[in-house]
Amino acid sequence: MNRSEFLKSIIKRLHDGESVDSVKNEFKEVFKDVPASEIAEAERLLIAGGMPVEEIQRLCDVHASLFEGEVINDSEGFEMGHPLEVFKAENRGIEKFIDSELMPELKEIKSGSEDREKIKYLLAKLSKNDLHYSRKENLLFPYLEREGITAPPKVMWGVDDEIRAKIKFLMEKIDEISREDLTEKCDELISQVKGMIMKENEILTPLLIHNLTEADWKVVAGESPQIGYVFTGDIEGATPSDANAWLKGGSAENEGVQLGGIRLPSGYFETEELTAVLNSLPCDITFVGADDKVHFFSEQENRVFPRTRTIIGRRVADCHPPKSLDAVEKLIEAFKSGKKDSESFWIQRGGAFILIRYYAIRNPKGEYLGVLETTEEISELRSLEGNKTLMD
């Protein structure tokens, strides 16, 4: 039996109720080291064999206990500000916060001191680890999935959501649950957070090192500020300014994308795909280039205002009646001069409420490229109330 099959059998036995200690001892007898890639393969085999991700997710903390100290962490030192160094430093910051701030306060609660507001405040600080998890889920997992490594991302994301839910529950119910329940649930939360840190450091990190290219890391670094960082403000080499300094060493263009007939900085399309996407937007769009000629319009089935393909290449001044020409020319001039960046108009026609918006389109240097017009019938949107979170 190969290692992946053996790991698969161990995790299944845990699932069937065997004690962690007995399985862990057998694991230590059989293995001297375990590459992270084989743990990923074992989880993939479990999912492929029909075990729901939610079941493997329940065992995540057991995995952490099982593999702790046994997994080969073949990560090497990276430059200051490298996304992986920042990611690992965040874990050190999270652990430091738990050990130096949250756990001492919990000890006070256990001894009878009822400062629940302080616990709520500390849980709110801990909830910022959502930024760490979000960068992992949205920036790192896609590269593993590109290489066919799908099981660890699914399991980790599920556990991340469990951690988020536990923090939210404790913050909302902190004044309603008993002191014993509060401390017990906080202990469970801390155990799960630390278990995820171990799994990230010893399993996820080697997978990232082996599967991400330098160009991939540049993309991660370039996109990370949109999500944000947490618990690294005082860690040398891992502050946001350190991350920004590392990024300046190269371009964050998505060099790894080679597919698609139309390549864009953030992805790619085939012509058929892009056409369908533009024609599926909830608003009609028309683009007039810097030459004041119509370059494009979307062809939704039920456009608010009809357009025909004969207008392509036509001067925008020739597309409007004389009475509105002056307003059109003034708006375009305001866009070109930089006096305005957008303008909105709305009209009511029968039961319809039509919103018309214009946007000046500029390149990163601020140079004028043209005008985008969007038109949408929004009477239904204006009537929305309350919340809708489930599909009909």
Domain with 50, as residue range(s), is: 3-67
Clarify whether residues 95 and 209 are in a common domain: yes
Of 335, 325, 330, 328, nearest to 360 (Cα)? Answer: 335
* Cα separation, 387 vs 392, whole angstroms: 13
In DSSP terms, 293 is beta-bridged to: 315
Clarify whether residues 237 and 108 are in a common domain: yes
How many separate domains does the chain show? Answer: 3
Q: What is the pLDDT along the chain (392 residues), one digit of tens a residue?
A: 566 677 677 777 877 888 777 777 777 676 666 666 777 777 777 778 887 887 777 666 566 665 666 555 554 567 889 999 999 999 999 999 999 999 998 888 877 667 888 999 999 999 999 999 999 998 999 899 888 888 888 889 989 999 999 999 999 999 898 888 998 999 999 999 998 998 898 888 888 999 999 989 998 998 899 899 999 887 888 888 889 889 887 444 444 445 568 888 778 899 999 999 999 999 999 999 999 999 999 999 888 887 877 788 888 877 776 777 788 889 999 999 999 999 999 999 888 999 999 999 999 999 999 999 999 999 999 988 999 888 87
pLDDT at position 355 is 95
What 8-state DSSP symbol labels residue 71?
B
Clarify whether residues 230 and 308 are in a common domain: no
pLDDT at position 68 is 65
Clarify whether residues 120 and 239 are in a common domain: yes
Sheet strands (E) in 321-351: 342-349
Given a contact cutoff of 8 angstroms between Cβ atoms, the answer to whether 55 and 185 are in contact is no
Burial 207-224 (b: 16+ CB within 10 A, else e): bbeebbeebbbbbbbbbb
Cα 355 to Cα 12, 75, 299, 346, 347: the distances in Å are 58, 54, 18, 4, 7
Question: Among residues 67, 95, 112, which one ends one of the domains?
Answer: 67
pLDDT at position 6 is 75
CATH number at residue 291: 3.30.450.20
Clarify whether residues 234 and 289 are in a common domain: no
Compute the 3-state secondary structure of the chain and give helix, strand, coil in percent, each to the nearest 5.
55, 10, 30
In a domain, 154, yes or no: yes
pLDDT at position 254 is 45
Of 99, 98, 23, 15, nearest to 67 (Cα)? Answer: 23
Global confidence as pTM: 0.68
